[in-house]
């Protein structure tokens, strides 16, 4: 099962999984609040995220439901 969790997701799939726009995903990454992507080949343009990292992010967000956050 761990092998399935560690497959690589490209941006459109990450957007579908999270419901976030690409600009919001990259802004959260810059803030250190979203998993970093990585290049799929040295010197290449394509990048992706590990599905397990995206799932951990979503689980963390879900665990914060109902908790009051001070502004």
Split into its structural domains, the chain has a count of: 1
Q: What pLDDT score does 64 carry?
A: 81
Q: Where residue 9 sits, what CATH number does that domain have?
A: 1.10.1660
Question: Counting beta carbons within 10 angstroms of the beta carbon of residue 18, is it exposed (0 to 12), middle (13 to 18) or buried (19 or more)?
Answer: middle
Mean pLDDT by 10 residues, the chain (71 residues): 74 98 98 97 95 95 72 45
Residue 71 lies in a domain: no
Q: What is the pLDDT of residue 37?
A: 97
Q: Answer yes or no: is 70 within a domain.
A: no
50 in a domain, yes or no?
A: yes
Domain that holds residue 24: 2-63
């Amino acid at each position: 099962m761990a092998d399935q969790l560690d497959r690589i997701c490209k941006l459109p799939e990450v957007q579908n999984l999270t419901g976030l726009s690409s600009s919001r995903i990259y802004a959260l990454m810059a803030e250190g609040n979203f998993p970093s992507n990585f290049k799929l080949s040295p010197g290449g343009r394509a990048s992706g995220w590990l599905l397990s990292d995206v799932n951990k992010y979503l689980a963390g967000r879900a665990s914060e439901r109902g908790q009051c956050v001070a502004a």
